[in-house]
Structure 1
């Protein structure tokens, strides 16, 4: 991002060096360079051939104070960057998208982020909306986003489909982010954007045979790893729910597990298997977690990535080649319940699905009814040779 002005003005650009933001000084002037050298943590960047400063108030204000009356630059621009950094501009992907955004649009971006926070949207929704809206602002550059007309938005969405090859889910997210800004942030009338969408493939859930799950869990020597995967299957949990489980969520008297603020910010209760309870007690005695059921060495939530890696390793050790991550244990849980005669409405509650249609998917992969159907091949009579 540059502050473009008269020749006497300092030109600055936000720059990402290593894993941190820096202020890149584009103006080359001996007096200015001598001032910069006296600022703590000022560095020379050989890649760009410029000096850069820490992205902090102190460095900015020192530069302001020392250069007052000699050079000028837009203080409002720097204030905006500081505010946005605190609100998430430290994300490398967002930073890159916003490099050429005007101050006016950055102000709208700040309003957009504030409204997302006030409405209590989930972390994933905030991240996705932020990326999609920042991408739009990056393309607009100096054009005010609030002045976009409906036909321009439709043209943009069509461009995402035809040129950027956005899939249906990504297009849907872009539409939602744009609608959120116009309808919730600047309170314009509701608009429905009819755009051509790619055909969404019908993807059936991948399900492990019970024998394979038994083989997978039995191959894990590490008690903690085995308990994590067993809990996932026994309770039909998402990986995000596993890491949030607390010790207090396990009720051995009522034989239930409480799932707090799961997807859609909904609580639910699932049954606690006696086999799982026995394993949990064994695990608890050895690892002695304090708050979360599964904790890292630092006592924090266990990482989602680590659990995904544990699952892939267990699958490999058991010689299971079927594609899919740990979510296949949740699919298997639901399908095996269905095959054992559990009512689909009850399965919907256990999984925390809003719509029964989501749960009905498991009827397509259940082998219960399929096992009663004979292939026509079985009835053929082959002539003796």
Structure 2
């Protein structure tokens, strides 16, 4: 407004390009999780702006995701995948695409962009959501082909490695964070969203609120963990969240992952894996200790028992009891 007043009578200020840029930027904002737009993204917005129709399609997708109460991770992932397609379309309206067009696009993602099977599944989910949920074209897009995902063994830490990991973590806050992650089998977002009041020392339970799928659950509170959390609370005095950042608020997921990676380096552990590997280790160690798999299903928050059954693949219980036929040969 100040610039406009200064230029009054001298020049005319054309605000349309700025308005268009701000509209594009606003639509992209959910994809970057509140961070600053990178120079590369700004350049893309300026050089390859979405057509008004496709920009509207992107905002409709985002609005429907929010109306259905999906997580911010889903909003971010679906928006990114849909935005990539929209940028490639130029002036072509996304609603004019057919199933054949979408299948050709998915093939391009694999052949030209090098998408993994898992990444292609995410792209399919995002596109199906738009065409089925936003546009109501379910019959046409319900059976989009998906590449078969490779069967991967879970990364599990041995019990001795978990002990070493925790013993080598000298920082009390970091040690408490890793102990909480392992002892309750938490996803990283569940870990950083834990609040002080979620630790119920009277009933010896940990409340996990609004986990994946917005489900609540409770898991047993370890007595060893409780001792560490009490010492941590006295030293750091967290106000709301159990683990808070330097400026308050919940600890970031990125910071939590960095804590684990540093602890693994200090302990000389070279297995790959994120905070989620502690969750896998928790479930596997429970199974090896004789816990009924249906209890493990509840502790992990799995809807389907088949999801929990995969821990039998990496459990040593049956493997050790069977042994090898080499040992039975008549030497």
Distance in 1 between residues matched to 2:170 and 2:318, nearest whole Å: 36
User: How many matched pairs?
Assistant: 322
More strand by share: 1
RMSD (Å) for aligned C-alpha atoms: 2.6
Question: Any gaps of 5 or more consecutive residues in structure 2?
Answer: 30-35
Shift of 1:196: 5.2
State the TM-score, normalized to the length of structure 1: 0.76
Indicate the residue corresponding to 2:311 in structure 1.
362
Indicate the residue corresponding to 2:65 in structure 1.
116
Q: Structure 1 residues 343, 86: closer, same or farther in 2, change over 3 A?
A: same
Indicate the residue corresponding to 1:260 in structure 2.
209
Which is worse superposed, 90-99 or 143-152? 90-99
Distance in 1 between residues matched to 2:140 and 2:297, nearest whole Å: 33
Q: Contact 2:124 / 2:146 at 8 angstroms: preserved in 1? A: no
Tell me the SS of whatever aligns to 2:278: helix
Q: Contact 1:154 / 1:193 at 8 angstroms: preserved in 2? A: no
Q: Contact 2:209 / 2:215 at 8 angstroms: preserved in 1? A: yes
Which of 70, 77, 80 pairs up with 1:128? 77
1:171 matched to 2:171: no
Which protein, 1 or 2, shows the higher relative CO under an 8 Å CA cutoff with sep ≥ 6? 2
Indicate the residue corresponding to 2:101 in structure 1.
152
Tell me the SS of whatever aligns to 1:257: strand
1:345 matched to 2:294: yes
1:105 matched to 2:46: no
1:292 matched to 2:244: no
Q: Contact 2:192 / 2:251 at 8 angstroms: preserved in 1? A: yes
Shift of 1:338: 0.5
Distance in 2 between residues matched to 1:138 and 1:251, nearest whole Å: 49
Tell me the SS of whatever aligns to 1:190: helix
1:89-137 deviation line (CA, Å, top 9, x unaligned): 4744765555242222222222222222222221111111111111111
Tell me the SS of whatever aligns to 1:111: helix
Q: Contact 2:27 / 2:58 at 8 angstroms: preserved in 1? A: no
Indicate the residue corresponding to 1:211 in structure 2.
160
Which of 173, 178, 193 pairs up with 1:224? 173
Q: Contact 1:246 / 1:293 at 8 angstroms: preserved in 2? A: yes
Q: Structure 1 residues 109, 347: closer, same or farther in 2, change over 3 A?
A: same
1:255-312 deviation line (CA, Å, top 9, x unaligned): 1010111111111111101111111111111111111111122122112222212212
1:181-196 maps to which residues of 2 (within 5 A)?
181-192=130-141, 194=143
Which is worse superposed, 327-336 or 188-197? 188-197
Indicate the residue corresponding to 1:88 in structure 2.
28
Indicate the residue corresponding to 1:37 in structure 2.
none
Distance in 2 between residues matched to 1:264 and 1:176, nearest whole Å: 16
1:342-372 deviation line (CA, Å, top 9, x unaligned): 1111101100112211111110111111111
Distance in 1 between residues matched to 2:106 and 2:158, nearest whole Å: 42
